[in-house]
Every structure is written in structure tokens, then in C-alpha cells.
Amino acid sequence: MRDFLKRHQIPLLITLLVLVIALVYSANLRKKTTTTLFERAVLTLTEPLQQGIDRTGASINGFWNNYLWLVDTRQQNIMTMKSNRDLRARLLAVEEIRLENQRLKKLLDFVEADPRKVLPALVVAEDASSWARTIIIDKGLRHGVSEGEPVVVAEGVVGRIIKVASNSSRVLLVTDASSSIAGLVQRTRTRGVVRGNGKELDLDFALRKDLVEENDLIVTSGMGGVFPKGLVIGRVDAVQRNAFGLFQQIRLAPVVDFSRLEEVLVLMDSAE
Amino acid sequence: MKGLFYSLLCGLIFMLFQTTIFPRFLPPEMRPNLLLILVIYLGLSESFLRAAFLTLLLGALQDVFCGSTFGLYATVQLAVFLLIRLFSDRLNVESRRLLLGLIATCTILQTVLLGFTLTTFAEAGPVLWVLLSDLPLQIFFNLLSGWLLLVFLLRVQPLLGNRQGMAGLAYQSKHHGA
């Protein structure tokens, strides 16, 4: 036995090593939102470096855009002023609706559905691979962030927290291939599961009999307990309805521009 | 010990490049995998145990910043390293073209292993399609960064002093034999 072990020392060591690592991976599959000590240590160690690089990059970028690259500034200024006038007019109408809504809610003794605390955070880094879609933000355990909390921007849903270190957290974006959220079509109330495909989103399990059209808005349904109800996820880009089958294939365009994410909001657990 | 520290430091710098600098200029599919290049380099130049240990650490480091499951890159990088090691004594590491060919082959190999691990152990959605559609660009950008790193290494090598068995880099240097 000892002879056998001695003779096949290297192949046995390799097999053992691969098996152990595969087992570690397999065990971690069941607890994706648990941050290991190693992950926490590396994230804590690299966070100041990432933040430093990010800030330097942002300063250089800002200097370039604000003082040097001003080619189309005048044109943009004219367009902004025009859209500002339009928006002011629209805002007046919206304000009227808001006040009316407030009065009606009071009448119905409406209780705010989501009294969560909102924590603003800066995006300091992105995923190191080409296929996964995650970002790193500059808020962590110290700021009360915990795994599973939703992350949003003004336009809509960004993703959810999957790993937390003391001063930083990792967010799984909705466009990641392993992400799925319970959603519904705002207009028709058709339910489905919004899944990421790396670049865009798909709405799966939407019944074929429900008429979904291009540009329909998809919002979170509140099922699953991670995302509060009514957050915008995306707009219908294309619908494919076959002559048979239970479901239709719906392709969505996310409302959030993930290539330009800089600040996000973490919706913290109401218990905190 | 010094070599171990330098390799880890190099891995950390590469990781910072991949997570903070590249995303400013490049879309995800165009970001090169610098740690893969480092693993290839280790597989060709370091002793077996040291390189295996470093590959594991670098894989774990990559896991902290990639995807959602810890252990994926540790498994894949180790498998890539073992396969390189299997053929390393039959390769002419003095050839620059062969080193670049190895980078292209290992990029394909890594994609296959990632796809296999992701789909075998878990229901990973359309990740296989994402991996395959990004592959041509990944190969190109890994080759480009491999070539740039090689040029850079050959320039700085005389300043650091040649080490033995550095993946044939010592032989490729203009200063070799000088």
C-alpha cells in the first residue's frame, strides 16, 4: 500500500486536489449569498485600492469632459433647455396628480407598502470576467448592508446584494445569466419570471393567451420577497407567440443603462 | 517566498486592472483575462507544487471578483494548469508564437471548462451561449494582452535579472548571451 502511494504520489495528489476544489465549489453552490472569510478578507483589502483607482479615473474623466472635450456642448445646451421647458410643463400636471393621489390615499387610510431605508452607494468596480454581470459598491456590513437586499436606481431595478464585506458589497445584476426576478406586465398584469441572458432580459413563463405588446413596461411583482412590488425592470423589445405551447417568448430591454452605472441605492431591510 | 509574493502581487494588480480600469474603456466581452495568462506563465516556469498552490490562490482570488459562486475559477484554473503541465515538457517554450498559441488554446479550454462546470453542477441559464458568443473576442484580446505583456517582460527582464526557466523568456530576450 505504502509502495503504491509512493509510486503514484503526484497523480493521487492531483486527483485529491481537483476533487477537494470541486467539492468546495459544489458546496458553495447551495449558499451563493454567503460570504466566506477569504472573500470578505480580499474584498476588504482591495476596496480602498478600487475606490482610489475609481476616484482617480473619475477625476480624469471629469476633467476631460468638463474642460477639454466640449465639442457639442452648445448643441446639448440648446436641447437640454428645450427638454427642460417640456418637462416643467409635464411636472405641473404630475404634481396635480400627486396631490390628488395623496388625498385619495389618505381617504383609504393607505399604508406605505415599502417603508425601507434607502442607502446611496458608489459603484467602484465591475466583474472581472466577460460572462458574469456583477458590480462592487462602496457600502458594506459597517453601513448595515446584508446579503439579499435589492439595489435600484431612479430608472429601475439594478440587482441584489450577493456578498458583503465590511466596507464593500457585490451586487448580482439583473442581466446576469443566473439572475431571476418575479415580474409582471404593467398593462395586462401577466405574470412571469424575468431572467438575465448576459446582455438583455427574457420574460419566461408568460402565458401565450395574454396579449403582450412591444414597449409594455415590466415591473417587479413583489413575489419572492426580495424586490418590493412595482419597481421597473424593463420594456418589451420583442414578442414571439407560436401557434402552440403554453407560453410566449418575450425579450426585454432593461431600463437601466448598466454600462454607465455610477451611483445606486440599496433598499435596506426594514428591520434595520 | 519572494517569487510567491511577486506572483500574488502580480495577480492582485491584474485583478485591479480587470475590475476597475478595463471596465472604464472596454465592454465585458473585450476585457482580457490577465490571470489566465499568469496561470499559463506559472505552469511553464514554476515548480509543480509552488505553481499548483499559486494557481489555486489566484483562482480563489478571481472567484472573489467573478460570478456568484466561490470555487468555480479555483477549479477551472487548476484544471487548465494541470493540462498545461501535462504537455509543458513537450513544448518549445522558447518560441514566442507557441506561447501565444498556448494563450489562444487555454482561452478555448477555459471557456469549455467554465461551460462544463457551470452547466453540470448547476442550472446556469443561458450562460453557455454568453460564453461562446464572447469567445472570439476573448481569444483576440487575450492574445493582444499576452503579446503586450511578453514585450513588456522582455524589456524589464534585464533590469530584474534573468531567472532560470522563465518560460523561455530568458532565451527570447535580446540581452540573452550578452
Q: What would the pLDDT profile of B51-71 be if each residue is shown by its tens digit?
A: 888 999 999 999 999 888 888
Tally of residues, chain A: 272
C-alpha separations of B124 from A127, A135, A225, B131 in Å: 17, 19, 22, 12
Indicate yes or no: CB of A21 within 8 angstroms of CB of B28.
no
Is A46 an 8 Å CB contact of chain B?
yes
Task: Flag if B70 and A129 touch (Cβ within 8 Å).
Answer: no
Q: What pLDDT is attached to residue A272?
A: 46
What's the grid cell of residue B56? 489555486
How close A109 gets to chain B, by Cα (Å)? 42
Chain B residue with CA closest to A199: the answer is B130
Contact status of A53 with chain B (Cβ, < 8 Å): yes
Q: Do B23 and A130 touch (CB under 8 A)?
A: no
CB contact under 8 A, A24 and B82: no
Do B3 and B111 contact (CB within 8 A), yes or no? Answer: no
The pLDDT assigned to B169 comes to: 56
Report the mean per-residue pLDDT for chain A: 85
- Return mean pLDDT, chain B: 83
Higher pLDDT, A35 or B165: A35
Per-residue pLDDT averaged across A92-105, rounded?
A: 80
Q: Are the Cβ atoms of A29 and B121 closer than 8 angstroms?
A: yes
Q: Which three cell numbers stand for residue A272?
A: 434595520
Of B31, B70, B78, the CB nearest to A28: B70
Residue B59 has a pLDDT of 92
How many angstroms separate the CA atoms of A255 and A91, rounded?
A: 21
Q: Are A25 and B70 an interchain contact pair (Cβ–Cβ within 8 Å)?
A: yes
Residue A262 buriedness (CB in 10 A; 0-12 / 13-18 / 19+): exposed
* C-alpha cell, A161: 446584494
> What are chain A's domains?
2-63 (no CATH), 114-272 (2.40.10.340)
Question: Mapped to the 3 state alphabet, what secondary structure does A159-180 carry?
Answer: EEEEEECCCCEEEEECCCCCCE
Check CB contact of A19 with chain B, cutoff 8 Å.
Answer: no
- Quote the minimal CA–CA distance from B174 to chain A in Å: 34
Among chain A residues, the shortest Cα distance to B26 is held by A259
Residue A177 touches partner B, C-beta closer than 8 Å? yes
Picking from B20, B31, B78, the nearest residue to A21 by CB comes out as B78
Task: Name the one residue in this structure whose C-alpha cell is 480563489.
Answer: B60
Residues A99, B102 contacting (CB under 8 angstroms): no
Q: How many alpha carbons lie under 13 Å from residue B60 in its C-beta half-sphere?
A: 19
Residue A111: DSSP 8-state = P
Chain A residues close to B48, C-beta within 8 Å: 10
Confidence band, pLDDT 50/70/90 cuts, at residue A85: confident
| B127 with A178: Cβ contact below 8 A | yes
Q: How confident is the model at residue B173 (pLDDT cuts 50, 70, 90)?
A: very low
pTM of the model: 0.80
- Position B165 scores a pLDDT of 46
User: Can you tell me the distance from the alpha carbon of A46 to that of A123, in angstroms, rounded to the nearest whole number?
Assistant: 14
Give the 3-state secondary structure of residue A194: strand
pLDDT in tens, A149-194: 999 988 889 999 999 998 899 999 999 988 889 999 988 888 899 9
> What pLDDT digit, counting tens, does each position of A192-227 carry?
999 998 888 999 998 888 888 888 889 998 887 788
